[in-house]
């Protein structure tokens, strides 16, 4: 996730059990672009012990080919092509989710990249751009390029993050695609996650915001799969996580001091707050110093009650 999940965050997740695999934020690819020193450092320094997949987002085929070749010289486990990003800055350039409007272009990209990527090669997509009417055409196309897996976020690009991820559509796609399918979108309950893994045709799950909100989620899912009751953190353990997150988001002298650091952690707190409550979210969004932030954290989290960290259902 752009500006959220980086090596420091993956390391923090590892302290709580960790995911089976991590994916970099997307590397924007265009003529003369480079992998970027920060992402390259994260790839080289990855000491989580977990495979790391590098994600690319672009539409210029020679540039995608060049970056795919450069990436294969780094210690990565695979390359993932982003066909899902809804951000305006990306879609305006016909990149990310906007490529779902141009399946011929997607085919050309896959035709070029597949033979030159000797590592596992995957695609992350949504159900379509404006609607899902061409989703089956997309799946038919993906079936032609020997992908190692496909990750599907069950919303259209135009929906952004509104509404709910459509898990029926994801499971239906898993029956059509001939490669393993990873489902994505709104996973926040370890019980629901384990049920999908046990009962659906999906090979795996990708968890984004739910992992920021609840870094215990991966070990909780493993506990449920092993027939155990998932261990819920207490309020004080969640507060300790926030202090560790503060350390993980500290850029040192590059971070330009307290105020920008407080703003940086709010990106995480936006997701975490959904699992704590509206009053917490309201308060942390208005905090402008660490002393304010710490007193809000203590007010809501200095207790030993178990916390499921699952957002309340949205009113529709």
Ligand X SMILES: Cc1cc2nc3c(=O)[nH]c(=O)nc-3n(C[C@H](O)[C@H](O)[C@H](O)COP(=O)(O)O)c2cc1C
> Which C-beta is closer to ligand X: that of 19 or that of 293?
19
Contacts of 211 (CB under 8 A, 6+ apart): 5, 13, 19, 217, 218
Question: Does the annotation mark 85 as catalytic?
Answer: yes
Q: 152: Cβ–Cβ under 8 A, 6 or more apart, which residues?
A: 124, 125, 126, 127, 169, 170, 173, 181, 182, 183, 184
Q: How far is the CB of 247 from ligand X (least distance, A)?
A: 20
Helix 7-15 and helix 37-45, axial crossing angle in degrees, nearest 10: 30
**Kind of pairing, strands 27-29 and 52-58?**
parallel
Q: What are the tokens at 50?
A: 């977990």
Shortest separation between residue 202's beta carbon and ligand X, angstroms: 14
Residue of 310, 298, 308, 299 whose CA lies nearest to 233 = 308
Of 142, 129, 145, give the one whose Cα is nearest residue 174.
142
CB 213, min distance to ligand X, A: 9
Structure tokens at 250: 């500290």
> Which residues on adjacent β-strands are paired with residue 78?
53
* Closest CA relative to residue 77, chosen from 18, 120, 135: 120
Q: How far is the CB of 210 from ligand X (least distance, A)?
A: 5
Residue from 21, 85, 91, 179 carrying the catalytic annotation: 85
Residue 217 CB, nearest approach to ligand X (Å) = 10
For binding to ligand X (CB under 6 A), which residues are involved?
A: 1-2, 4, 25-26, 55, 82, 84-85, 124, 153, 184-187, 207-210
Nearest residue to ligand X by CB is 208
């Amino acid at each position: 996730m752009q500006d959220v999940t980086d090596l420091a965050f993956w390391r923090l997740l590892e302290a709580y059990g960790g995911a089976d695999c991590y994916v970099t934020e997307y590397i924007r690819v265009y003529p003369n672009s480079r992998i970027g020193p920060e992402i390259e450092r994260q790839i080289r320094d990855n000491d989580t012990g977990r495979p790391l997949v590098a994600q690319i987002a672009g539409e210029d085929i020679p540039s995608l080919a060049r970056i795919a070749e450069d990436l294969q010289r780094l210690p990565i486990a695979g390359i993932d092509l982003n066909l899902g990003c809804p951000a305006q800055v990306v879609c305006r350039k016909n990149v990310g989710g906007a490529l779902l409007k141009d399946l011929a272009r997607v085919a050309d990209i896959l035709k070029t990249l597949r033979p030159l990527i000797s590592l596992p090669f995957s695609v992350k997509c949504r159900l379509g751009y404006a609607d899902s009417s061409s989703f089956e055409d997309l799946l038919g196309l993906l079936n032609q390029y020997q992908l190692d897996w496909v990750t599907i976020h069950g919303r259209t690009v135009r929906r952004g993050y509104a509404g709910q991820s459509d898990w029926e559509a994801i499971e239906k796609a898993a029956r059509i695609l001939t490669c393993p399918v990873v489902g994505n979108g709104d996973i926040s309950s370890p019980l629901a996650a384990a049920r999908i893994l046990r009962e659906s045709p999906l090979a795996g799950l990708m968890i984004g915001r739910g992992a920021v909100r609840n870094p215990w989620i991966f070990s909780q899912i493993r506990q449920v799969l092993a027939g155990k009751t998932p261990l819920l953190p207490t309020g004080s353990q969640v507060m300790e996580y926030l202090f560790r997150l503060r350390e993980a988001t500290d850029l040192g002298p590059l971070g330009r001091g307290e105020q920008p650091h407080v703003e940086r952690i709010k990106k995480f707190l936006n997701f975490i707050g959904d699992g704590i409550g509206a009053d917490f979210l309201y308060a942390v969004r208005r905090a402008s110093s660490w002393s304010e932030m710490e007193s809000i954290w203590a007010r809501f989290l200095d207790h030993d009650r178990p916390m499921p960290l699952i957002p309340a259902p949205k009113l529709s």
